[in-house]
Structure formats: C-alpha cells, structure tokens
Amino acid sequence: MYMIMLQTKKTHPGAVTMVNKYKKSYFLTFTMLLLVSLMSCQSPTSSMKKFEWLPTECAPELYPAIIASASFIFPDGQRAPIIGTDPIKNGWGEDGTTAVIGDEQKPVPVKLEITWLSYTESKFYSGLFDLPVDKITKLFAKGYTHPYTLKHTSYKGMVVGMAPGGVVVVWIQGINNQVEIGRYQAQPSKITVEQFIAIKGYSSDMTHDLGAIVESIMKDEPEATANLKAKGLQLGLWDTYRERFNLKPVVSFEQSHNAKVTELFMHFYNGEQEDLVAEALQKPDYAERARLKNLRVKWTDEWGGKKTKYLLEVKLNETEVFKAYKDVYGDNAKQPAELFIQLNPGNNKYRLFLQHDTKKIELVKGEGSIYLDV
C-alpha cells in the first residue's frame, strides 16, 4: 500500500455559500490521508530512473486562479495530481500546496495536463503538454550544492505556474535554486461551470453562474481588483520576464582584505533562483540570466581577531530594473555586463550597479538592508 498526503485548502467559490478568507503570504491547510492499494504487477515506471520530488503550483499575486484539474503524467499513464489552494496567488515561481503521492521516488513525468480558471479573466484554460524528459532527467541527476550543508543535493520539486492569457511555465525546484523547464500555451477550455463544480466536489446547489463565482472571489481581492483596473491583464508580461541577459555578479569590498563572501543568492523575475556557494562562488561566471528581482549576500569580515557575519537583502524596484537593463544592454542582450555589488569598509552600506565597459547604471530605488547574520 502507499499513501497520499495532501496539504491544501478547499473552499467553495459560490456566491453566498462560499467562505474565502485567504490572506496574502499565508495558506490555510488541512491534511487528507488516503490509502491506495498498489497493483501487484510491475509497471513500465518501475524500470525507469526515479527521483524524490513533489508537485506544486503558483500564480501571480495580483492575478489569482484556481485549478480545476492538473497532473503530471508518467510514462505508464499514472499521474501525480497538482491540487492548489483557492485562490492561487502565491507569486510567480513560488511554492504552493504540496502533495505527497505514492513512493518518495518518482519517475520523470512525460506530460503535464491542466485546466484552470483565471479569476481576473473570468475564463477557463486547458492544455496537454509534452515535457522535455531528457532536460528534466539531467537536472535531477546533476543537482546542485546545498546552500546550508554545502553538500551535493538534488532538486525536490516541480512547479507549475499559470498566468493570464493561458501562459503556463514549469520549473524544477530546489532549496534557493530553481530552473525553468519550459513555457507552454494553454487554450480557452470547453469545460462548463457544472463540470468544474463536479470536479472540485463543490455542492451542486451553489451558483452555476461563472460571473457570480468570479465576483465572490474578487471582492476579497481588493489589490488584484485595483491592479486590474489600473494595468489590465498585462498580457505578454510573463514572456518579457523570461528574457535573458549575459550577466555576471561581482561583489567588491572597499579597503578590506579580510572580508569574504559566503553566499550570493539571486531571485529573478522569471521565477528562477540561483544560490552561489562554495566553488561556484569563488569565480562567478557570465551566464544568461533573467532580470534580477531580489538579491541576498552573506559575508564575513575579521577585525581585531574577531570574525563577524553580515547579511545584505535587497528587493529591487521593477520599473528601475527594466529601465536599467534597457539602458545597459540596449538591443544586445548577449553583450557581457556585471551586477556590481559594492560594500563599504564599515559593512553597513552598499551600492548596486548594472554595468559594462561603456555604461554604468546605479540601482537606487530598491529596498535594501544590512544585518548581523547570527
């Protein structure tokens, strides 16, 4: 026998009967325990290379969605379902719900099938997509250096993102390390509201009016509603986030010969994450990276025989970042440029630049702080 353990929140998006008190950055979760009997015969999956991983989901914070049905499909046709909370609005590329399904070791999925409701569009989308099995297998096998233990480890999750216009993106996920697997295009779905209600297991006497269902959710999402009125659906934005530039991070200490960087974490607008530690940190190289969203630097400095740990965290300003990348790279995203992080001798001030040989832009509008790293 094997166990399915699901952590999620199930609410009924009906007009009056629904209770929905989801709050930003918090998930109300419950645990369902189901026991499922294993088939006694061997399946084709048993002979395939397996890895330990879990599925999860995401959507942009201001463009909430709900999954009707979604699953990764294995070579033998078995599935790993992706459930999702209601609404899904945890942020692009971020963790959602997790479902522990079957054995800890799972094969690499060959397909993704998904149907969801975009609340801001009042529209269902569906898609069945082939996944790059070789690429996923190589990433699982290659792994990365764990940022805390500094030992080799493997990725532990696969994230499915849904954005307006039917955009679907899949990432492979580890601790502070996340890589885009592919971008896919879903189409408007033929699913009916009645079918959606039945699939979700909602009460049959709830409203079958899609507009009422959407309104019942959006009335509790004032920020999303205001954003929709001000900016619209921003179709194409998530493809713009995927644009890559030839970038190398550089950390510089002013007049300090004892300071040493121990970690450099970069979070990008396309949902990818990269955490440089150990050998990768000693000689950071140029690579095609998306626009930087958040930055974290850890370092040590020694004065009078005492070693102190420091931490810099910066949340960049999106408008400023987009303009800086345009000014520095122009129409040539392949030219080499640096993300230059400058730290002062007192370890209490920083400056951040995007630069190459002939252009240097300082990023000053982000929110950044330096802490003692205890």
Tens-digit pLDDT profile for residues 20-32: 333 333 333 333 3
Three-state SS at 261 = strand
Residues in Cβ contact with 46 at an 8 Å cutoff, skipping those fewer than 6 apart = none
pLDDT at position 18 over 50: no
Q: For residue 358, what pLDDT is reported? A: 94
Query: What's the pLDDT band for 104 if we cut at 50, 70, 90?
Result: confident
One domain, residues 215 and 274: no
Q: Is the pLDDT of residue 120 over 90?
A: yes
The dihedral sign for the CA sequence 43, 45, 46, 47: positive
Number of other CB atoms surrounding residue 346 within 10 Å: 10
Greatest mean pLDDT among 31-35, 97-101, 296-300 lies in: 296-300
Last residue of a domain, one of 238, 262, 284: 238
98, 31 Cβ separation under 8 angstroms: no
Phi, psi of 248 (to 5 degrees): -130, 130
**pLDDT score of 135:** 98
Per-residue burial over 91-109, b = 16 or more CB atoms within 10 Å of its CB, e = otherwise? bbbbbbbbbebeeeebbbb
With the CA atoms of 203, 208, 209 and 210 taken in that order, what torsion angle do they form, in degrees rounded to the nearest 10?
80
Structure tokens at 217: 């959710």
In this structure, the answer to whether residues 74 and 139 fall within a common structural domain is yes
Assess whether 7 and 44 both reside in one domain. Answer: yes
47 — pLDDT class (breaks 50, 70, 90): low
Q: What percent of the chain has pLDDT over 90?
A: 79
Indicate whether 265 and 169 sit together in one domain. Answer: no
Are 230 and 83 contained in the same domain?
yes
| Structural domain count of the chain | 2
Q: Which of 178, 203, 238 is the last residue of a domain?
A: 238
208 and 285 co-located in one domain: no
* Distance (Å) of CA 277 to CA 148, 169, 268: 9, 27, 17
Structure confidence by residue, pLDDT tens digits, 290-347: 999 999 999 999 988 899 999 999 999 999 999 999 999 999 999 999 999 999 999 9
Confidence band for 12, pLDDT divided at 50, 70 and 90: very low
**Pair 6, 89 in one domain:** yes
pLDDT beyond 50 at 1: no
pLDDT at 38 over 50: no
Name the pairing type of β-strands 123-130 and 187-188: antiparallel
Look up residue 178 and give its amino acid: Q
Contact 246, 288 (CB under 8 A): yes
Q: Which among 267, 262, 323, 327 has a CA at the least distance from the CA of 294? A: 267
Q: Are residues 230 and 82 in the same domain?
A: yes
187 strand-pairing partners: 126
User: Region 77-85: what's the mean pLDDT?
Assistant: 93
Q: Count other Cβ atoms within 10 Å, centred on residue 250.
A: 13
Judge if 72 and 147 occupy the same domain: yes
Lowest model confidence (mean pLDDT) among 82-91, 133-142, 250-259: 250-259
pLDDT at residue 140 greater than cutoff 60: yes
Q: What is the extent of the structural domain holding 134?
A: 2-238
Please check the confidence at residue 128 and state whether its pLDDT lies above 50.
Answer: yes
**What's the token pair of residue 152?**
């080799």
Distance separating alpha carbons of residues 301 and 346, to the nearest angstrom: 10
What is the enclosing helix (H) or strand (E) of 139?
A: helix 133-142
Cβ atoms 156, 173 nearer than 8 A: yes
Query: What is the rounded average pLDDT of the residues 60-68?
Result: 99
Overall pTM surpassing 0.85 (yes/no): yes
The answer to whether residues 247 and 332 belong to one domain is yes
Q: How far apart, in Å, do the first and last CA atoms of the chain sit?
A: 45
Q: Is residue 33 scored above 60 in pLDDT? A: no
Residue after which a domain boundary falls, among 211, 238, 265: 238
Query: Same domain for 222 and 278?
Result: no
Cβ-contact 171, 262 below 8 angstroms: no
317 shares its domain with 212:
no
DSSP 213-261: HHHHHHTT-HHHHHHHHHHTT-TTHHHHTT--EEEEEEEEESS-SS-EE
